[in-house]
Amino acid sequence: MSLLKQKRFWKTATVVDRDGGFGVALDARTVNTPNKTPLVLPTFQMAEAIAAEWDAQVEKIDPLTMPVTRAANSAVDKVAPQQAEVVANLASYGDSDLLCYRAAGPVELIARQAERWDPVLDWAAQEFGTRLNVCEGVMHVDQDAALLAKLHAEVASMSNFALAGAHDLIAISGSLILALGVTRGAFAQEDAWLLSRLDEHWQTEQWGEDEEAMAHEALKQEAFLNAARFYRMSLI
């Protein structure tokens, strides 16, 4: 059964073999997902990280302190039952990628976007054969259908666990291209994060810092970096 939202009752969390993969046992009790599905993990590294999260719990189980466990549960309970829909949703970001929509001004922001985002689009063009189209403003710009098909195929090639990690990389950044740069090892996740926040950081430079906005950004950054870590753990 699922063990989330319970008090700690176990002494030790350990990695065990389970159904052709890896599982986590709390003493002699194996961990399942919230939907009571066996939590079978693709790599020892992921299972080890999840075991460490369970061991770190003190009195009550706090899912907010268990990002690897939560992502693994999502892979099993949310991604697997609707894989095609998840793939389609994530691939659709290629048709509205953050990097394609540029400011109309001021000239300094226009120049910064071009300086930092154009090399990423150049990389994507080299990887996938066609360059994404760029426009000024927020009106939709059409993209090459063959390119979008290649991006869809790239996402579709991911395992359920990889998709769970890629989901947050894409959704948080608003950029499929930045996310694929991370998953393909072309960019460090820290650099990709900063590129995704270029507009927000520009505004901060102009108007100063806002504590509430900074706290919200810190949470999103942590989730983005956790997603990159989870994606790497998913690779067999």
Total-model pTM:
0.95
User: Residues 103-137: pLDDT tens digits?
Assistant: 999 999 999 999 999 999 999 999 999 999 999 99
Residue 5: pLDDT above 70?
A: no
Quickly name the fold that domain 82-234 has. ATP12-like fold (1.10.3580)
pLDDT of residue 176: 98
Look up the CATH number of domain 1-63.
3.30.2180.10
Banded pLDDT at 236 (limits 50, 70, 90): confident
Instruction: Identify whether the C-beta of residue 221 lies closer than 8 Å to the C-beta of residue 202.
Output: no
d(CA 224, CA 173) in angstroms, rounded, equals 8
As annotated, the residues of the chain forming the CATH 1.10.3580.10 domain(s) are 82-234
Banded pLDDT at 187 (limits 50, 70, 90): very high
User: Residues 51-97: pLDDT tens digits?
Assistant: 999 999 998 899 999 999 999 999 999 999 999 999 999 999 999 99
pLDDT of residue 1: 44
